[in-house]
Amino acid sequence: MRATRWALVGAGIAAGTVVVARSIAPKSPGGRELEKGRWRSVTIDKPVDEVMRDGIPEPLAALGDLIEVRATDAPGGRGTELSARLVDGEPTGAGAGISRLSGTDPRQAVRTALREAKQLIEVGEVIRLDPKPEGHRRNTPFGAIVDMGAKRSGGEGVL
């Protein structure tokens, strides 16, 4: 198992900016640094020290070694840009499509965790939807697509 360690990176950029990240870069067997995933971000309307008061906020912290996290001041006093990226890079190929459908794509976990971390910090809870009243749901192919879309929506999108 990879060690988890905290580091301050990018020190000396904009004053007041706290950038914390899990700093371990994975190495391929040959020792070359693997290409990491792209940063995914949410902006939280709270200052960085509040967002990072207890370290990486939950449920992002629960993703552990899967991700690197950074938190920076948003310009114009707009709070904190909280970002995460996959240490092992973006999934590709046919397998990636299947894991998106089955809900096991790690990007979905990152998006969901970023959105939920924001909600927990801004409003104190994650909005829930189920169980909810609903009428008879017909089994149709298009209905199945909408259901799948709704089920995965919290982890999908362009974030």
Partner 1 sequence: MKALVWQGVNELSVERVDDPQILNTHDAIVKVTRTVTCGSDLHLLGGYVPTMRSGDILGHEFMGEIVEVGPGVRKHKVGDRVVMCSFMSCGNCWYCKQGLTSLCDNSNPHPGFGEALWGQSTGGCFGYSQTTGGFAGSHAEYVRVPFADNTAFSIPEGVTDEQAVFVSDAVPTGWMGADLGGVKPGDTVAVWGAGGVGQMAARAAMLLGAERVIVIDRLPERLRQVEEVIGAETLDYSQAEILPELRELTGGRGPDVCIEAVGMEAHSRGPMNAYDQVKTPLRLQTDRPTAVRQAIMAARKGGSVFVLGVFGGVVDKFPLGAIMNKGLTLRSAQQHGHRYIPMLLERVQRGEIRTDHLATHTMPLDEAPKGYEMFKNKDDGCVRVAFRPGG
**Sites of contact with partner 1 (CB under 8 A):** 42-43, 45, 78-79, 115, 118-119, 122-125, 127-138, 140, 143, 146-147, 149-150, 152-159
Q: Nearest approach, Cβ of 88 to partner 1 (angstroms)? A: 23
| Closer Cβ to partner 1, 17 or 119, answer by number | 119
Biggest CA–CA distance in the chain, Å, is 59
Q: Nearest approach, Cβ of 129 to partner 1 (angstroms)? A: 5
Strand order in the sheet with 80-86: 40-44, 80-86, 67-73
Q: Per 3-state DSSP, what percentage of the chain is helix, strand, and coil (rounded to 5)? A: 35, 15, 50
Cβ contact 159:42 at 8 Å: yes
Q: Nearest approach, Cβ of 141 to partner 1 (angstroms)? A: 12
The conformation of residue 120, written as its DSSP 8-state character, comes to H
Cβ contact 22:6 at 8 Å: yes
| Closer Cβ to partner 1, 1 or 129, answer by number | 129
Q: Nearest approach, Cβ of 110 to partner 1 (angstroms)? A: 13
Selection from 33, 10, 3 nearest residue 83 by Cα: 10
Cite the DSSP H helix spans in the chain: 48-51, 93-102, 106-123, 141-152
| Closer Cβ to partner 1, 93 or 131, answer by number | 131
Q: Nearest approach, Cβ of 79 to partner 1 (angstroms)? A: 7
| Closer Cβ to partner 1, 21 or 83, answer by number | 83
| Closer Cβ to partner 1, 34 or 150, answer by number | 150
